């Protein structure tokens, strides 16, 4: 089977090993997997491309459901198009049916290019649509019309929530030499316009709800020639939108009609590389297969260029060390709710892994408020999540434990017993408590979960362990980036020591740590080496599209990708992320926040003498340490509390600014700044500690920049207090003297 369980003799003491003789000044040695040999990735039975991967899966089980979805029921009041009612009987689409749709659509896409419908009449057919190319990566070339007389290598845009059609388009790109480019479902038309022009894109497949936005930006997107609706529109609506499209020089097509067109003689053509043509197979293995745009933190999104080899080897690598229940060939279900535009779930990673592993992709309704309802209908076997989702489950359990009464006491006893068993024996199941207490918690996700994976941001040890005992299943945390196809390391489910770490190194890549002396991290640190995490391997991206400057910053001359994360490798060869080099933090929900940029905005308020914005990868919001200007603080205190103090009496003024009403007034002002600056919700400061004492010398550099890692340690109790209040706790009027006791 494509998914392979860990060997029975897996060595937990030496999960990853340092290659002898590979150390260089300022670096650790090169670390690699000690569990899997890299040759496994290229063994004869393994696919060499994404096209081969899908074809192999179809051949093994053509009639198995590749997709399951909840049908939308006929509207009955109060149901509306904006508030539909979904059925509870799942609708399947088989692997073979998806294969047929893929082939029909692929032929139609090439036919559009042959007919010149993806370019303006004045543009030359040998150069438009533009092939997506990257320095050092093989390309088809403008004169290559070996496949059905069509040029290949051009981009195909996708803008929708998770749905069957998204995958059909992407699979067609794999099979017909095209490049899929996802547009973020939630980031709006400005980002869609940027990506369309940057790539550039001649054709975009879109859900009906995005059609007006695409047509609005079309006049500013000179490359865009065709928009394909994934939804069949009512005749009247289609006529109106078609007229609008025509008025802006764009053709509006229907995806279902394209698939029917793809069956016609002269349009239909076989998928895959051209058979018998020298160099085709090698070109397909190494070509650009997708562009995954990062969501961006300090500017426009960067287009991460990924090749067929990047995605294929990453998929195979993730299939090694699978939970035993997923390796026996039985049907299993993956809950698809994370956005496909994100590499963590995109067909380019987790969904490809499901296909490779003979699984079924169960699509949710896309409504986050229905997530638990969807899970209870779908009853998934495998679910991936981000810490923000899992943190809510943990918080709900803890709240119930603290509720008191018989139920609270029983849950507390059950949690303590199972935690003790896990920490001493590695066991996550308990016959009595699983039936009596945790059965209802497992039922929240359908009752059949055997594997939970967490990514996008670090999962706290407390939440990691709680998930294990509540769901009595494997819970694994890993490390990856868009630039590494979401792949790098992953934990071993039964390894007690893996909690709080990102686990062992995957066989598709090596890692090493590079000294960052300015932050106090070196390869000679004890007990474990620390430094910037660098990665190299077959899963590592080849560069940023049209951006040689940032490519050179990320990839050095020896092929090492510099991640910007500070890592630590423990004695067992497990990776732990401990810091970030850049002042950018990823919050628990996976959103990146540029802290220095936000400080520049918020600190414009003259109230602040200086300001530190703090983010934590285990938290979902931001807090701040604000050093107040004494004169401005006097007016703030009087306005918020009615108390009169003077700037000369710093002791009394320091006490006054600890009043909860003062903090609330400051937070209100910060929220106003956020609104004026049009910041995202996750960039709004939700908790604050106020003081008149300037940051000490050990916290600031000679140029007055804040040393974040040192400040975070020095102000730990103040930061923790700000988070307590931000997350709904009540600190009241807290002075430094009693803060320790409160915490």
Tens of pLDDT, residues 446-489: 999 999 998 877 788 888 999 999 999 999 999 999 999 999 99
Q: How far apart are CA 348 and CA 293, in angstroms?
A: 13
pLDDT at 413: 96
Check whether 710 has a pLDDT greater than 70: yes
Q: How far apart are CA 735 and CA 656, in angstroms?
A: 9
For 384, the token pair is 């991936």
Distances (CA, A) of 608 to 396, 690, 694: 37, 10, 11
- What is the distance, to the nearest Å, from the Cα of residue 557 to the centroid of all Cα atoms in its chain? 28
Check whether 734 has a pLDDT greater than 60: no
Q: How far apart are CA 222 and CA 712, in angstroms?
A: 48
pLDDT at 739: 41
pLDDT at 340: 61
- Tell me: cis bond preceding 607? Omega within 30 of 0 counts: no
Please count the other Cβ atoms lying within 10 Å of the Cβ belonging to residue 328: 10
pTM value is: 0.83
For 653, the token pair is 């003024």
- The predicted model gives 678-705 an average pLDDT of 83
Q: How far apart are CA 124 and CA 630, in angstroms?
A: 67
pLDDT at 81: 60
pLDDT at 169: 98
Least reliable range by pLDDT among 49-58, 247-256, 504-513, 711-720: 711-720
DSSP 150: B
- 373 sits in which H/E element: helix 371-378
The radius of gyration of the chain's CA atoms, rounded to the nearest angstrom, is: 27
Q: How far apart are CA 473 and CA 450, in angstroms?
A: 5
pLDDT at 670: 94
Check whether 729 has a pLDDT greater than 70: no
534 compared with 394, residue with greater pLDDT: 534
DSSP H helices in 564-703:
595-602, 630-641, 650-656, 660-676
What structural domains does the chain harbor?
A: 1-31+505-582 (2.30.38.10), 86-312 (3.40.50.12780), 593-742 (3.30.300.30)
């Amino acid at each position: 089977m494509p998914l392979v369980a860990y060997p029975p003799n897996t060595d937990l003491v030496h999960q990853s090993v340092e290659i002898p003789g590979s150390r260089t000044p300022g670096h650790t040695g090169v670390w690699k997997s000690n569990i899997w040999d890299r040759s496994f990735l290229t063994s004869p039975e393994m696919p060499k491309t994404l096209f081969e991967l899908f074809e192999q899966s179809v051949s093994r089980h053509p009639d198995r459901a590749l997709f399951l979805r909840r049908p939308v029921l006929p509207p009955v009041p109060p149901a509306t198009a904006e508030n539909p009612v979904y059925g509870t009987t799942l609708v399947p689409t088989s692997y073979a049916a998806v294969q047929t749709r893929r082939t029909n659509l692929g032929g139609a896409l090439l036919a559009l290019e042959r007919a010149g419908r993806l370019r303006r009449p004045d543009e030359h057919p040998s150069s438009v649509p533009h092939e997506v190319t990257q320095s050092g990566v093989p390309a088809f070339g403008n004169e290559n019309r070996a496949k059905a007389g069509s040029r290949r290598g051009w981009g195909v845009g996708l803008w929708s929530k998770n749905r069957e059609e998204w995958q059909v388009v992407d699979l067609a790109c794999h099979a017909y030499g095209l490049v899929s480019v996802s547009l973020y479902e939630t980031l709006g038309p400005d980002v869609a316009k940027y990506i369309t022009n940057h790539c550039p894109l001649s054709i975009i497949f879109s859900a009906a709800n995005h059609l007006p936005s695409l047509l609005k930006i079309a006049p500013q997107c000179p490359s865009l020639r065709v928009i394909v609706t994934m939804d069949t529109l009512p005749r009247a609506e289609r006529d109106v939108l078609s007229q609008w499209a025509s008025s802006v020089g764009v053709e509006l097509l229907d995806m279902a009609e394209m698939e029917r067109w793809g069956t016609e003689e002269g349009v239909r053509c076989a998928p895959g590389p051209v058979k018998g043509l020298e160099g085709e197979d090698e070109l397909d293995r190494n070509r650009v297969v997708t562009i995954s745009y990062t969501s961006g933190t300090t500017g426009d999104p960067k287009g991460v260029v990924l090749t067929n080899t990047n995605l294929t080897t990453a998929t195979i690598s993730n299939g090694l060390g699978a939970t035993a229940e997923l390796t026996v060939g039985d049907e299993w279900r993956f809950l698809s709710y994370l956005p496909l535009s994100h590499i963590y779930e995109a067909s380019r990673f987790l969904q490809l892994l499901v296909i490779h592993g003979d699984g079924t992709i169960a699509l949710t309704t896309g409504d986050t408020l229905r997530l638990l309802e969807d899970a209870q209908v779908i009853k998934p076997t495998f679910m991936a999540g981000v810490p923000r989702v899992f943190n809510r489950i943990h918080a709900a359990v803890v709240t119930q434990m603290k509720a008191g009464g018989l139920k609270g006491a029983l849950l507390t006893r059950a949690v303590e017993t199972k935690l003790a068993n896990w920490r001493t024996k590695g066991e996550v199941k308990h016959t009595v408590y699983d039936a009596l207490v945790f059965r209802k918690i497992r039922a929240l996700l359908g009752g059949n979960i055997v594997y939970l994976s967490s990514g996008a941001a670090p999962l706290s040890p407390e939440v990691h362990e709680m998930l294990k005992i509540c769901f009595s299943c494997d819970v694994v945390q890993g490390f990856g980036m868009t630039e590494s196809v979401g792949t790098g390391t992953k934990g071993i489910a039964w390894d007690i020591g893996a909690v709080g770490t990102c686990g062992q190194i995957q066989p598709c890549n090596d890692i090493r740590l590079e000294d960052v002396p300015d932050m106090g991290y070196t390869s000679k640190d004890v007990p474990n080496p620390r430094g910037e995490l660098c990665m190299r391997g077959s899963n590592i991206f080849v560069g940023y599209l049209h951006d040689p400057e940032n490519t050179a910053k990320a990839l050095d001359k020896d092929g090492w990708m510099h991640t910007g994360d500070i890592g630590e490798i423990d004695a067992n060869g497990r990776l732990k992320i401990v810091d970030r080099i850049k002042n950018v933090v990823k919050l628990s929900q996976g959103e990146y926040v540029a802290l220095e940029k936000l400080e520049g905005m918020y600190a414009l308020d003259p109230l602040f003498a200086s300001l530190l914005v703090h983010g934590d990868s285990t938290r979902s919001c931001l807090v701040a340490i604000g050093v107040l200007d004494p004169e401005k603080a006097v007016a703030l205190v009087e306005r918020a509390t009615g108390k009169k103090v003077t700037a000369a009496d710093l002791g009394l003024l320091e006490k006054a600014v600890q009043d909860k009403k003062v903090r609330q007034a400051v937070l209100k002002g910060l929220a106003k700044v956020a609104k004026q600056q049009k910041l995202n919700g996750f960039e709004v400061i939700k908790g604050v500690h106020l003081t008149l004492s300037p940051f000490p010398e050990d916290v600031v550099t000679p140029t007055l920049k804040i040393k974040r890692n040192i400040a975070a340690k020095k102000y730990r109790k103040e930061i923790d207090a700000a988070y307590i209040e931000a997350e709904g706790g009540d600190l009241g009027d807290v002075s430094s003297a009693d803060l320790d006791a409160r915490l």
